[in-house]
Structure 1
């Protein structure tokens, strides 16, 4: 008799403190939960053990990556219904929770190992102090060196892995990414012959756009060898070797300033709270007086106890090892402490949600090829993290800001126009 799903739904409700908000189908074919809508599918008993031994997002994520847990129907709807209860679980009687966990463990089967080993896509043991040069290189490699063809499937022709800017005629991903790159160039006030440093240059899209359309001499730095090789090929193909240089280099190793402008797009999340002041000071030192910095960075709301802030365990284990998010107010304060004058801050939160949903569509439309290029588990990691991130931006759980800062001259000059918001309209 197929009875697993009703017991799972009842016991999970006891653990969460509320009725399970989604329908469940178990490995024995039984179903339980709210009728209609998407279904959370437990394909293997092992999924229960993963959740019991790592309650919350990481246990569910491990089961998802391993293919033991799946969703039939709208993935966004399931995530939206599950994430809030997991993050804000109602209090429940400790004895009741222990009894529910024991019964779920029995359902999972005594013959399975305790606990199941993590899927191989999870990052292994990390070596060296947090945010040391060696450890940062390994963390960046884990995320970015999974194959340029895979990123081409997800990102599309722009090969830009950060929030696009939609509207104003930019109605597809390629146009929206071009609009973002051009907005940054205008905020930086780029002109013919200037020197631009792009920190965390990715596959070279920013430096290529700035050199091609604004005539700058650009240096792009990245810790990913695969990104650097791809970017150099693009530079050579466009005949811009005399204007664009790509380096495998850490921002802490860059010393050939001054630059007229610096862009840092989707890179500062990797810096870490302990290193952020150093990051800001180094970039300040690399700019000439009146030079501008455009810092494009994901943010999070402040919490009552900042010392108790913890990185999302799934993101840390599978997506961005050692990545950290900070409130935008802290970012602004640290930039100012490093000597910058912050002149403009713009939120693009809704734009990132739209961008992520387009990346998910690209991944799903090319699913067999994405699996072939990486692994089933790696493709599932990307689908889950991008879909969950889209919801987090839509629900204002996280945000993203472009912060424009300037290194003022000794007399306080900024080089900025009196009404800098004119950059919101293309020239």
Structure 2
């Protein structure tokens, strides 16, 4: 059918009741939409079938990952323009159901819908891309299910992550621009973040540190090398553990750092002087968070400090109705859940911690994600070869959309410093707040 782009634009604008914010180019090379706007490229009519059989975010995600959809022009601008139609749908007023039904009853809408069905071609749903994690059954956050979820996200190849993250191999928010002589690039910003955490924890030579969700070992390496601590890092990813042990051996620190493939619920060591949890608590889940907080409290000596670095979301009116986006759940962080920072602070306090400081780093994560996207795009061919083109597309969309979410204050990231204050009340904290900055 000729002029597929024009017909799709008309259908979209009839349904939205507003002009389409992006341009469309269809598989028949037809184009339609505002001149100069980013272009949504529909490479194959199979993309329409994905949307017809799974309307909404998951259908779009499948079309993107499979390469049926693409964007030409500024990716961030395109996602920003589309956010109100897709990712921000819960915050965007929707027309009443009766108004939708009246619109669907209009002859021109019915005609456009028939055209869409014709444009879509074969009336069968395409198979999901191989990168999609199939829906899981059974209870959330068992030891086995959490290990499988972590493996899906992290065991996609250390070489791939090295391209995206850079030499620091730190997969969490960096700490940018700390002064005239502060962070000039991603590596400096990640180093400054690790050092900030060490200072907040008050690390000293000979102390024992536990890093929960240690990733590729960057935190324990920095703490042992710069502050002289003995450290234990735990992860559920076999590939991360292998890479971390190699880095530690090369640094000559194997006698001071131990890396374990272990769940935080399985640690029964003598108490630690300090615990860091950097970008790990997002995997814990709301049903397990009280157990997580209590476990870390029990693993600290009286006077020991916890630094919990965690992404948080904005509160919603009905917290019980909160759910993770399908794209994130199926392709990125299976079973992951975000919580408002207020709930995190409350649950840490309920576990017995004294919360001493909360620092918001929202803008810092947006800068970090943009740096990772730039790394991925710079090494695109190699990244696709190391994993798959679909996996590289997952990470590009996920990181770019997340950068916008941080910039628009839809999500944030916070460092919560808490102490297992002894019965005497002597917290060991400095009298002046944030003297740890040095």
TM-score > 0.5, shorter chain as reference: yes
Partner of 1:133: 143
Measured in 1, the distance between the counterparts of 2:263 and 2:126 equals: 37
Structure 1 match to 2:371: 358
Return the alpha-carbon distance in structure 1 between the equivalents of residues 155 and 335 of structure 2.
16
Distance 2:75 2:231 in 1: 41
Structure 1 counterpart of 2:251, from 238, 247, 254: 238
Alpha-carbon separation, structure 1, partners of 2:4 and 2:76: 25
Q: Which residue matches 2:345?
A: 332
Residue number among 82, 85, 96 corresponding to 2:103 in the alignment: 96
Within the candidate set 114, 117, 122, 1:105 is matched to 117
2:307 to 277, 294, 314: 294
Partner of 2:380: 367
Q: Deviations over 1:22-52 (max 9, x none)?
A: 0000111111111113210000001112122
- Aligned residue in 2 for 1:83: 83
Q: Aligned residue for 1:197?
A: 210
Q: In structure 1, the residue corresponding to 2:434 is in which secondary structure?
A: helix
Aligned residues: 423
Q: C-alpha separation between the residues in 2 aligned to 1:276 and 1:123?
A: 24
1:125 deviates by 3.9
Name 1:156's counterpart in structure 2: 166
8 A contact 2:38–2:74 mirrored in 1 = yes
Shift of 1:331: 0.3
Specify the SS of the correspondent of 1:126.
Answer: coil
SS in 2 for 1:62: helix
Structure 2 portions without partners, runs of 5+: none
Give 5+ residue unaligned stretches, structure 1.
Answer: none
Q: CA contact under 8 A between 1:200 and 1:220: conserved in structure 2?
A: yes
TM score, norm. by length of structure 1: 0.97
Q: Aligned pair 1:171/2:210, yes or no? A: no
Q: CA deviation at 1:310?
A: 1.1
Taking the aligned partners of 2:233 and 2:113, their CA distance within structure 1 comes to 51
| 2:68 alignment counterpart | 68
Give per-residue Cα distances to partners, 1:153-207, cap 9 Å, x unaligned.
0000000000000002102000000000000000000000000000000000000
**What is the distance in 1 between the residues matched to 2:141 and 2:114?**
40
Q: TM-score, normalised by structure 2?
A: 0.94
Partner of 1:344: 357
Q: Give the superposition deviation at 1:112.
A: 4.7
**In the alignment, which residue of structure 1 is the partner of 2:50?**
50
Q: Which runs of 4+ in 1 moved over 6 A?
A: none
